[in-house]
Structure 1
Amino acid sequence: MKFVNLLCVAALGAAAATPALASEEIIKKARCVACHAVDQKRVGPAYKEVAAKYKGHPEAEAMLISKVRHGGTGTWGQIPMPPHGTDKISDADLKAAVEWILKL
């Protein structure tokens, strides 16, 4: 019986870790990592900087999704972020990625 309980705990732990890993994989697959990293500035800001800047902002998720879709410049400097269409990252994947970033 202890073995069964241990398996259940392990499975729950793996299930809890899956969304974060899935979102990080989405970011890698969409090649966002070419310009961004979790904790260091590259061409664009670190994801942790983005999370800190928008912490508690009620419209952060929608605003960041729009920024990724349409691109822009000026928020983090003069290097523009190009738009990223649904051919690069689906709406569902983009939402999951932004949610993950905001939780960092």
Structure 2
Amino acid sequence: MKIKILVAMITLGSLCSFSNYVSIPAQYSAIEQTKPSEGEALIKKEDCATCHKIDKKVVGPSYLDIAKKYPMNDKNIKYISEKITKGGSGVWGPIPMSAHTALKKDDAKKIAIYILSLNK
């Protein structure tokens, strides 16, 4: 019996490894699903998921809400990337966003571009 369960688990694990799972649902992504953007990869490495989700407000606003409020342009990319590195409060409520001073400006810009690209 234990062997059958073990074989079933291995088979199930093998089948799951061939699935086409993507971390962002297609209706929320403006980028190609087969390869994540640099901004998305940076978000996964940082602590962003503690306070932000793609489509739900957690502590801070959802990425979709940010993208809806700020259209994609150079001014907003600069504004969002500065918010990421310097932090701030008052725009989305009283809870402040912590500063991410160790993040390179170029990386913050990639994150900002990714977030703003979610608005279709």
Report deviation, 1:97: 0.9
d(CA) in 2 for partners of 1:77 and 1:84?
19
d(CA) in 2 for partners of 1:19 and 1:78?
32
**CA RMSD in angstroms, aligned pairs only:** 1.7
TM-score by length of 1: 0.74
> What are the residue-to-residue correspondences of 1:1-40 with 2, within 5 Å?
17-20=34-37, 22-40=38-56
User: Which residue number in structure 1 is paired with residue 21 of structure 2?
Assistant: none
Report deviation, 1:56: 5.0
Tell me whether 35-44 or 56-65 shows the greater mean CA deviation: 56-65
Q: 1:41 aligns with which of 33, 57, 61?
A: 57
Paired positions, count: 86
1:98 aligned onto 2:112: yes
Instruction: Structure 1: state its 5+ residue gaps.
Output: 1-15
d(CA) in 1 for partners of 2:55 and 2:79?
21
1:75 aligned onto 2:91: yes
Q: Radius of gyration: which is bigger?
A: 2
Report deviation, 1:92: 2.3
Identity %: 37
User: Which residue number in structure 2 is paired with residue 63 of structure 1?
Assistant: 79
Report deviation, 1:91: 2.2
d(CA) in 1 for partners of 2:104 and 2:46?
9
Query: What is the SS of the residue equivalent to 1:94?
Result: helix
d(CA) in 1 for partners of 2:72 and 2:78?
13
Instruction: Structure 2: state its 5+ residue gaps.
Output: 1-31
Report deviation, 1:46: 0.2
Deviations 1:31-74 (A, max 9, x none): 11110011100000000000000015551000111111111111
